[in-house]
Amino acid sequence: MCQHLSKVILRIDQVVGFRHTCQVLDSTPPARTRTAVACQYHGCRQAAAMVELLPGPGDHATLMVSGFGATDVAEPLADERLAHRVRSADDDLPGVLYDRDPAWAPYFCPVCERSYCTDHWRGSRCPYGH
């Protein structure tokens, strides 16, 4: 059910500016986790990116980041602590991903400590010139 509602949930998140985490349970642990990271530019209601954690390969999980232009990422995660952080969708998730590998959070400005959608990035600079 959550997969079918993801577009509606994301639209609601865009309106109120929050992030939503959805776990889709299946027979293969760990469960799939999807988090929409909201753009934090004043008044913007778009998502900066979608962060997903998918089961596999093996006992590990795969991190997927999409929705930020052509910079989609798919990386196997052997670090269960990082996988747990993605599943918990803490407010500092974009910073955690960026600190691990900037390519995992291209939507995140480490100076502002905020996430922005593609509409607000100017080349490689955030809306505030960092």
Q: How many CA atoms lie within 13 A of 14 on its CB side?
A: 15
C-alpha distances in Å from residue 19, one per residue of 123, 124, 125: 25, 24, 23
Question: According to the model, what pLDDT value does residue 8 have?
Answer: 36
Write the pLDDT tens digit of every residue in 14-56.
Answer: 433 444 444 444 434 457 888 899 999 999 999 999 999 888 7
Exposure class string for 92-109: b at 16+ Cβ within 10 A, else e: ebbbbbbebeeebbbbbb
User: 112 in helix, strand or coil?
Assistant: coil
Question: According to the model, what pLDDT value does residue 30 have?
Answer: 56
Question: According to the model, what pLDDT value does residue 86 have?
Answer: 82
Residue 2 in this model has a pLDDT that exceeds 70: no
Question: According to the model, what pLDDT value does residue 110 have?
Answer: 96
Cβ distance 85 to 98 under 8 Å?
no
Question: According to the model, what pLDDT value does residue 1 have?
Answer: 40
Tell me how crowded residue 37 is: count the other CB atoms within 10 A of its CB: 25
77 versus 7: which is more confidently predicted? 77
Question: According to the model, what pLDDT value does residue 70 have?
Answer: 66
Please state, in angstroms and rounded to a whole number, the distance separating the CA atoms of residues 8 and 93.
Answer: 23
Question: According to the model, what pLDDT value does residue 102 have?
Answer: 92
Write the pLDDT tens digit of every residue in 57-106.
Answer: 777 888 999 988 766 888 888 888 888 888 877 778 899 899 989 988 99
Please state, in angstroms and rounded to a whole number, the distance separating the CA atoms of residues 62 and 111.
Answer: 28
